[in-house]
Amino acid sequence: MVSVSLAAAPALASAAPPLSGGNTQSSSDTAKTSGATTSVDATTTTGATTATGASAGSVYSRRSIPQPDLVPGAANGTVFTYATTGADHKPRQSSGVLLTPFGSVPAGGFPVIAWAHGSRGLADGCAPSVRPTVADLDQARTWLSRGYAVVSTDYAGLGTAGTPQYFDTDATARNIVDAVRATQSLRSDVSRRWAVVGQGQGAAAAVTLARIGQTLGGSTLDFRGAAASSIPAQFSSLLTKLGPGTVNLPAGLTADALYTLSAISSARPSVDVVDYLTESGRSWLNRAAQLCVADLTREVDGISLGSLFSKPLSGNRELAGVLEAASVLPVRGFTRPVMMTQGLVDPSVIVPLTLNYINDARMADRQVSPRPYLTLSADSANRMADNDIRSFIATTMR
């Protein structure tokens, strides 16, 4: 898993009204941002439209990040809100951050890296534009140093109105494309050329974008490829197998399961989730709606996962249908190159399931570049992944 930085030790943004409204307290792996806000009239970009006909990627508000608050390597930074579409295909707003590097602007502008972050939480205060993690900060710093502009979306409902549709890969992919589309009206020195780098939740969206990204972006954007690390393969199948007596999972996966069930319970109230939970499970579902990922992961470490369920989720066919439809990952039909990386030591996924998925995709489609790292050192695997992804992105952006 590779990391990114959006603002220096100060957080990216406590922000414009659409971006505030959350807990900006820092923890061991987060940084706090601040700065003044400037609202602007919605700026319409050319491209796809939301369900009501509003232009996807239209910018509703923006503010510049003060120079002292920028991540090292960023010459300019903007926090913005923009129009996108939710899992229900209805118009939504999302917030994001655009950073540009120092140096001479290349012909056509700085090529854009869309950083697709992993799980951050469901509460507004968990939005990376408000409370970026060390991983978010490291990724931005890394790609800025290589001469790329970096855009990162919070995903709709995280820091903006509505319920985060955490469980829907297609909605996440659309949020990413629309953030890239927004960059075209935010600054004149960014290119139409872009690629996505994703981890965890963002990796699932990156893989999906390798199949549909150019179609979503249309003629206004030039999508070149995707790199995905820690792909949550078969996560829907894993969830539907949970129930009384379930063996414990790594804390990160337990947190992801709770976030997913909490998001579905809020976004799809007709789907019965609560009745499958014990009193303890319902309490943890509520905690998942409030806590950011570092805090929830720490709190669920060591809990008995089976004790959260009063009956097996496998009996909930409606839930299984929602999960399958929203989180299935393609193994073929990729229209752009996609690199898939995975180390042997990774508590954020079930490694054998992810490796099986990568192998299936490799066998099914020549656009896939698999990179399994057969080392028991997570640090070594991360370094190798960073080197491979750097070369892959440089090649696809030519």
User: Is 344 inside a domain boundary?
Assistant: yes
User: Is 5 inside a domain boundary?
Assistant: no
Span 51-86, pLDDT tens digits = 445 699 999 999 999 999 999 999 999 999 999 998
Same domain, residue pair 308 and 384: no
User: Is 3 inside a domain boundary?
Assistant: no
Q: With contact defined as beta carbons under 8 Å apart, do 393 and 341 qualify?
A: no
User: Is 2 inside a domain boundary?
Assistant: no
pLDDT at residue number 337? 99
Same domain, residue pair 62 and 166: yes
Same domain, residue pair 250 and 229: no
Domain count across the chain: 2
Same domain, residue pair 184 and 194: yes
Confidence of residue 36 (pLDDT cuts 50, 70, 90): very low
pLDDT at residue number 54? 66
Span 143-197, pLDDT tens digits = 999 999 999 999 999 999 988 988 899 999 999 999 999 999 999 999 999 999 9
pLDDT at 35 over 70: no
Same domain, residue pair 372 and 262: no
User: Is 15 inside a domain boundary?
Assistant: yes
pLDDT at residue number 42? 39
Angle at 160 between CA 224 and CA 284, to 5 degrees: 100
Listed residues 277, 299, 326: the one ending a domain: 326
Same domain, residue pair 281 and 345: no
Which helix H or strand E contains 141, and what residues bound it?
Answer: helix 134-145
Residue 185 is which amino acid? S
Residue holding tokens 């960073």?
386
Same domain, residue pair 141 and 269: no
Q: With contact defined as beta carbons under 8 Å apart, do 76 and 141 qualify?
A: no
Give the domain range for residue 14: 10-233+329-396
Query: Which of 73, 137, 136, 84 has its CA nearest to residue 110?
Result: 73
Alpha-carbon span 121 to 200, nearest angstrom: 13
Same domain, residue pair 311 and 177: no
Which helix H or strand E contains 196, and what residues bound it?
Answer: strand 190-199
Same domain, residue pair 360 and 275: no
Same domain, residue pair 80 and 182: yes
pLDDT at residue number 89? 85
Q: In this structure, what token pair is assigned to residue 40? A: 């602007």
pLDDT at 387 over 50: yes
Q: What is the mean pLDDT of residues 18-23?
A: 29
Q: Which residues contact 27 (CB under 8 A, 6 or more apart)?
A: 292, 294, 295
Alpha-carbon span 357 to 351, nearest angstrom: 10
Same domain, residue pair 306 and 338: no
Residue 175 is part of a domain; what is its CATH number? Answer: 3.40.50.1820
Span 213-232, pLDDT tens digits = 999 999 999 999 999 999 99
Same domain, residue pair 62 and 209: yes
Q: Which one has a higher pLDDT value, 226 or 17?
A: 226
Listed residues 297, 326, 355: the one ending a domain: 326
